[in-house]
A and B are shown apart, each in its own frame.
Chain A
Amino acid sequence: MRRPAPSTVRWLILAALLVLWEFIPQTGIVPELFLPPLSKTVAVLIKDWREYASELAVTLYEVAFAMLIACGCGILTGALVGGITLLRDLLLPVFSSLYAVPIVILYPIFTAWFGIGSQSKIIFAGVYGFFPVMLSTAAGIRTIDPQLLLAARSMGASLPQRITRVIIPASIPTVLTGLRLGGALTIIGVVVSEMLTSAAGIGYLVTRYRTILDSPHVFGAIVMILLLSILFDTLARAIERRTRVWQTAGRRQTDSAAIAVKPAEAVV
């Protein structure tokens, strides 16, 4: 028998989990308070879709602004820190260690400064997502093949030309990876801060329904957050794949390249 493709197996596992989610609570092994069946969760989502939609809108609004901060500041700082040796020596160790700190402990301070509205969420999540963007931008610029810059110089490229025509295109793939990670962290940052202190957003719904022990509504909110993260990740990966064709292709496509090159074997 042929082994099924990994993607088939992945989908089968997902389907199995969904089936278990539906039937285990119904058998009564797990109380409904801990795990309401899938059908009940979906029913709640459909019934109260207005509420979920308006809270999702708040969350999306906060995520969008937080990503703007994370990407804008992250790319800018990363470019400076990666490109300027002095800044790199001074700041890179600091930023690398800060990245390891659970910044969520600072969230109460953020609420003291910026209130419990959207502002504190946006700033907190922005800071949260900033680090991976900044660090991978710096890494992307630092790891550019110096030979490429030397070659550009030999062709008479000025510094601005080296930046726009070599450094930027060469670092795009690494920066995009950072944006994907940073974006994911921004979503986490927004949801977590909504869960901690707030009066709106999907994270707020989770907390509110949990305090009144309404499990189906809690799970409804969780499902929405999951879908949001998956959607973002899929989108980000698709963009990444499109732009880094030349990078991954270098390794993966050697076979197809060899085949493609065949008709012209005379050319060494």
Chain B
Amino acid sequence: MTQPHLTLVREEPAHAAIEVAGLSHVYGGRNTQIPALEDISLSVGAGRFVVIVGPSGCGKTSLLMMMAGLRHQSSGTITIQGAPIAAPDPDRVGVVFQEASLFPWLTALDNIAFPLTLRGTPGAERRARADAMLNLVGLSGFGARYPHELSGGMKQRVSIARGLVQDPPALLMDEPFAALDEQTRMTMGHELLRIWSQTAKTVVFVTHSLTEAVYLADEVLVMSARPGRIIDRIAISLPRPRTYEMMGTETFGRLRDRIWQQIRKSD
């Protein structure tokens, strides 16, 4: 199955880490019913990097929050690691938000250790694990800094470390780099791929940026405008590790163009 040569495109394994089946969501009160998500089904294999793109307001963030157990869908099921997710479960799912959402009164290290503090992990183990995460995201030596002493990119690194500290198999990311400037964003994308390849997490990543989508993903899911449906699934066949040079290639341009056409058609 897998080619013996160096294309590192990961094959989809038999068991899916995240499985969404027939999910629909309707907003509204007594009189108004706004369909937000319509019959979403998707399956993400363990260790895969899947990116969801779509026009603003298509419900991609809602979908991600539902996968995190932070919001409830009207109908349909979400299964993560073989069990339905009814409430947030940091053992199975880590979440990284658009704004870094760090607690400003805690140091970077304490922010990373926060999920462990919540469950009463002993101090020494907590520090060791938070320290390991700090190293993983390339912030060794910054543990004692407070969030206001960190740059936007560094804050998102802390946020990623916090999402990973309980070692969940899946990481959900809601436009984590949207608030960063273009250069930082490129660096962070590259860094994320490095972290991903070191940790072998299953990642679902929501973004507005088509370039980011193609650069990061194994597979891109394109959603339509409200009510959100999945209108295209595009396998990104670019080899790994990804390099900045690939962005200039014809394949990259073609893939990005295809996503753009799909989004435009749906609007």
Contact = CB atoms under 8 A, between A and B. Distances in A.
Contact of A150 (B97, B146, B188): B97
B11 interface: no
B142 A156 contact: no
Contact of B118 (A165, A169, A245, A250): A165
A268 B149 contact: no
A interface, over-half SS: helix
Interface residues of B, number: 39
B154 A268 contact: yes
Given A155-B115, A156-B89, A156-B115, A150 B151 contact: no
Interface in B82-96: 88-90, 93-95
Interface in B187-226: 187-188, 191
Contact of B101 (A150, A245, A257, A261): A150
Contacts, number: 85
B103 A261 contact: no
B184 A268 contact: yes
B151 A157 contact: no
A155 B68 CA distance: 10
A264 interface: yes
Given A154-B95, A268-B154, 7 more contacts: A151-B101, A155-B118, A165-B118, A166-B103, A257-B150, A264-B142, A267-B154
Interface of A: 145, 147-148, 150-157, 161, 165-166, 169-170, 245-247, 249-250, 253-254, 257, 260-261, 264, 267-268
Interface of B: 68, 70, 88-90, 93-95, 97, 99, 101, 103-105, 114-115, 117-119, 138-139, 141-142, 146-151, 153-154, 157, 162, 166, 183-184, 187-188, 191
| Interface pairs A-B: 8 shortest CB-CB | A268-B153, A151-B101, A250-B148, A154-B95, A155-B115, A257-B149, A156-B90, A246-B104
